[in-house]
Structure 1
């Protein structure tokens, strides 16, 4: 698909999803029957003086005759006594599935506000806003989340996020919904059938109605509603908001690139995302607004959200198709030539240029930290040999319990572990030239970068080094899934975390089994990440605990960000390793 066609597709999406003031200006027939607020409230994309507010109104009768009138109430306290004001005349638009999105303006910087909606005698739950601060800022606290498969468990991590105190924002790095159905072999249904969490609709998502129904199901969850209400969210999609392993012109099941069915599904998925998420609407002539954007938290931190999935990414390589074998020996030289092709893109040239300029401007403005909000892992991770890290008898027992596809994947990784090639071609490891371009931008700006990631369903603490292995470019803190299964779930007794950390220089810590989120704090000199794990996601009762904690200094005295250092004990097979002075600065 050409870049011009991708731009046209984004323009079409922007037109389809636009709901600015003009959408409310036309006098339309209003539905005046009873309504409910079944899907909670949400805020997102905060600025110093504005924020996006969201809700969805559910008409209780035949609502085919019009939109629903909604009033917005704002105050400085949750009891709505201080600074209370009412903004009447908003609309939940029928053509947007009765969702309402409103950019609230003229707010004070660095201030907490509370909001709720009213319609036809019904009142929504209350939400809390925190606008971005300006000027000098001493500390900030964020939650980082990713990968919530409905059928694989309860959203306890969202509930725990809602209980955090002093939260400035929630960063969600993708896979907010999943596209799978409820057939016996569908992803996550082994657990879903056991605990009674069945995705709606029951089939794999294809149409706009399908994606809307799945978003509605997710936002019916009370734990997720609490998390949305507690603070503004800054979000980006990954692949499962559309389809597994998607790229700009297809997904893993695509037989014909840039086909009409694929483009229709892509537009449907993104339209539903913009309708149901508290994210600013894309502009018809500005593709940047539909992908990358930045948020400056005073002089302490600037967050750069990048879109690494649908606008710039080329098709990922595939071991089955692209790696040739001579008996049990892979042709790694030919494969590396394909992998390192400099024309292969992850972000696209235009987005890489935007990031380069934005990093330089942030540093020039005196911002202390630059944070990369990114869907997939950046660290170099080679496949570890799990077999060599455990007794042979236990290894054979584990293999015997796996399904055919799971066993094939495990055995493939064992073969690859003898060679210096990536274990995950869907991550930045599958696009090394594109990653080098981002690293060059970081070094040119002299930025102090913390990269955030999701996607892998594992916790990680990594150090990112340049291609020569001489300079630490950034540190990476990656969150596990909220519920989605991981490699550690399939091989629960295998010491995967230990093997991961021992195999790859950049991996300081890996936990392949826990489910939860990251609790990250920044001050002038340090970033600290607490890895918060749920006791269970398949039982209705849970406890949340810190299973590991790592910190990194802004500057190690050598002109680069410091290495990650463990500041709390790690449990069994939560593979933390010490690599000597280089990682302890």
Structure 2
């Protein structure tokens, strides 16, 4: 997601291209008048000032992360680690010793192998005679699984406000996992996209030192630390981990003439990302290949996609004037089957996972909206109407059609049921039936009935941001209503609230709940349940649902 076009960057770039990516300027101006919290931008102290984290769990292992800040810089620091079955560490499961050094910015990553499946574990590090905070993590289950609870977040902009959504997630003891769908951090400098807190460095991230410093600031945030300390995370990047609207060979927010070589910037950003995030490196020979999969027993097959740096074709310009900004139609270069988000290798990998999985639910974690979003609706046979956002899958319709072919089957291949797309990026909340031709009411020709949901092949849940702005205006409800009227396959749209999604998964259904915080302008412990939708096994379409109860007797949170 990019900055509002009215917020002037220090290094000017093109205007933003769609209404919900340029609607937050008023909020930026208002936030600039707020007093800074005493904690805003304040550095932590001590050896473990960046907290602890865990991520990329498997059934027998999990990545454990921390960062050491030695009192005196030295070529190497010895770090001990221990994992136990209880928060008192009376039942130790694993222990070991590793080293860190300046070449990896004193970060520490341990793949703790040999843990029991489906188990909550507690861990800590020690270095320089000091123990870290205690962390809590969980391995993935194997075999029969009757229920999973997963929080889903994206778009956490430190400058734009406080991570109250993270704090609320940290309090939920019954979660199995947290998914972060990208824009974990933002590249902009001071005043470019948010003024509640001052970014470090104050300039836009360009160099390895810049990316490291920004990651360090995010890891000092007390709410981010709380979430990471209590739950394992599976994360993918979107664009802002490097630069806005990135693609394989560049970005909207990258000017080679003033900001240097794109490949060098990507290399710096990814080095810092893999140092500072609790994730595995899928391919050490090519850091851009970040797609990976996770099996959560027989209940969920989770596929996490990389949609920016590996293969994405450059976004095409939208040129048709609409009430919501520039739009486009599916003709000319937009119809070129050679354009891609995933690339042939990742497409083949995804097809194999979807078709070969025996899990009840196939969850796909990815960055940009898959459902069609139009400002003028029409069936495909009538030209398909006018689309709004060329950065999401709408700008890559032939590539999207190839994913639909995976799901719908044919040519001797079976259809894939129970596919659920999980999406971030757009700073707003959406629930959609996924149909290849949602404005065609003729089911016999591959259309979709918005009343019954027949004709849908899968569903999509889109999470709002942790702090980044949506349509923060009195007209957001009216805009949402207009978009729903044009696009009836969307069952829910909220354009202005911040928060997170909560998935409750059983063999019978997947429920998605949207939880919103009351503010990001200051720290607050207020949240509210907004709504819920679910998809039943074998139905591949949405229906209204209700708030789900927490799991009984969850394992104790880390002290």
User: Over aligned residues, Cα RMSD in angstroms?
Assistant: 2.4
Match of 1:428 in 2: 393
What does 1:357-506 align with in structure 2 at a 5 Å threshold? Answer: 357-362=352-357, 366-383=358-375, 420-444=385-409, 445-447=414-416, 448-467=418-437, 468-470=446-448, 471-486=455-470, 488-490=471-473, 492=475, 495-506=478-489
C-alpha displacement of 1:563: 2.4
In 2, the alpha carbon distance for the partners of 1:426 and 1:331 equals: 11
Q: Is the 8 Å Cα contact of residues 376 and 386 (structure 2) preserved in structure 1? A: no
In 2, the alpha carbon distance for the partners of 1:111 and 1:117 equals: 20
Match of 1:564 in 2: 543
Match of 1:240 in 2: 240
Q: Structure 1 pair 330/223, CA: closer, same or farther in 2 (3 Å)?
A: closer
In 1, the alpha carbon distance for the partners of 2:114 and 2:94 equals: 13
Q: Is the 8 Å Cα contact of residues 476 and 495 (structure 2) preserved in structure 1? A: no
C-alpha displacement of 1:127: 1.0
Match of 1:60 in 2: 71
Match of 2:35 in 1: none
C-alpha displacement of 1:549: 1.0
Match of 2:333 in 1: 338
Instruction: Classify the secondary structure of the residue corresponding to 1:383.
Output: strand
Instruction: Classify the secondary structure of the residue corresponding to 2:425.
Output: coil
Higher relative contact order (CA 8 A, sep 6+): 2
Q: Is the 8 Å Cα contact of residues 423 and 463 (structure 2) preserved in structure 1? A: yes
What does 1:265-344 align with in structure 2 at a 5 Å threshold? Answer: 265-285=265-285, 290-319=289-318, 323=319, 336-344=331-339
In 2, the alpha carbon distance for the partners of 1:325 and 1:200 equals: 38
In 2, the alpha carbon distance for the partners of 1:518 and 1:325 equals: 33
The count of aligned residue pairs is 476
Q: Is the 8 Å Cα contact of residues 144 and 519 (structure 1) preserved in structure 2? A: yes
Q: Is the 8 Å Cα contact of residues 421 and 460 (structure 2) preserved in structure 1? A: yes
Match of 1:187 in 2: 193
Match of 1:406 in 2: none
In 1, the alpha carbon distance for the partners of 2:253 and 2:497 equals: 29
Match of 2:490 in 1: 507
In 1, the alpha carbon distance for the partners of 2:404 and 2:94 equals: 47
Match of 2:91 in 1: 82
Q: Structure 1 pair 35/221, CA: closer, same or farther in 2 (3 Å)?
A: closer
Instruction: Classify the secondary structure of the residue corresponding to 1:463.
Output: strand
User: Which structure's CA Rg is the greater one?
Assistant: 1
In 2, the alpha carbon distance for the partners of 1:181 and 1:510 equals: 31
Structure with a larger share of its residues in helix: 1
C-alpha displacement of 1:174: 0.3
In 2, the alpha carbon distance for the partners of 1:115 and 1:265 equals: 34
C-alpha displacement of 1:360: 1.3
Deviation larger for 537-546 or 66-75: 537-546
Q: Structure 1 pair 501/83, CA: closer, same or farther in 2 (3 Å)?
A: same
In 1, the alpha carbon distance for the partners of 2:335 and 2:488 equals: 20
Match of 2:9 in 1: none
Q: Is the 8 Å Cα contact of residues 328 and 387 (structure 2) preserved in structure 1? A: no
What does 1:246-257 align with in structure 2 at a 5 Å threshold? Answer: 246-254=246-254
Match of 1:117 in 2: 125
Instruction: Classify the secondary structure of the residue corresponding to 2:316.
Output: coil
Q: Is the 8 Å Cα contact of residues 381 and 506 (structure 1) preserved in structure 2? A: no
In 2, the alpha carbon distance for the partners of 1:57 and 1:346 equals: 37
Q: Structure 1 pair 167/494, CA: closer, same or farther in 2 (3 Å)?
A: closer
Match of 2:164 in 1: 156
C-alpha displacement of 1:117: 0.4
Check if 1:168 corresponds to 2:160: no
What does 1:6-17 align with in structure 2 at a 5 Å threshold? Answer: none
C-alpha displacement of 1:165: 2.5
Instruction: Classify the secondary structure of the residue corresponding to 1:542.
Output: coil
C-alpha displacement of 1:312: 1.3
C-alpha displacement of 1:552: 1.2
C-alpha displacement of 1:59: 1.4
Q: Is the 8 Å Cα contact of residues 517 and 532 (structure 1) preserved in structure 2? A: yes
C-alpha displacement of 1:35: 5.8
C-alpha displacement of 1:509: 0.6
C-alpha displacement of 1:79: 1.3
In 2, the alpha carbon distance for the partners of 1:147 and 1:330 equals: 24
Instruction: Classify the secondary structure of the residue corresponding to 1:59.
Output: coil
Match of 2:551 in 1: none
In 2, the alpha carbon distance for the partners of 1:129 and 1:308 equals: 28
Q: Structure 1 pair 271/548, CA: closer, same or farther in 2 (3 Å)?
A: same
Instruction: Classify the secondary structure of the residue corresponding to 1:233.
Output: strand
Match of 1:539 among 522, 528, 539: 522
In 1, the alpha carbon distance for the partners of 2:546 and 2:147 equals: 19
In 2, the alpha carbon distance for the partners of 1:137 and 1:95 equals: 42
Q: Is the 8 Å Cα contact of residues 152 and 484 (structure 1) preserved in structure 2? A: yes
Q: Is the 8 Å Cα contact of residues 153 and 538 (structure 1) preserved in structure 2? A: yes
C-alpha displacement of 1:340: 1.7
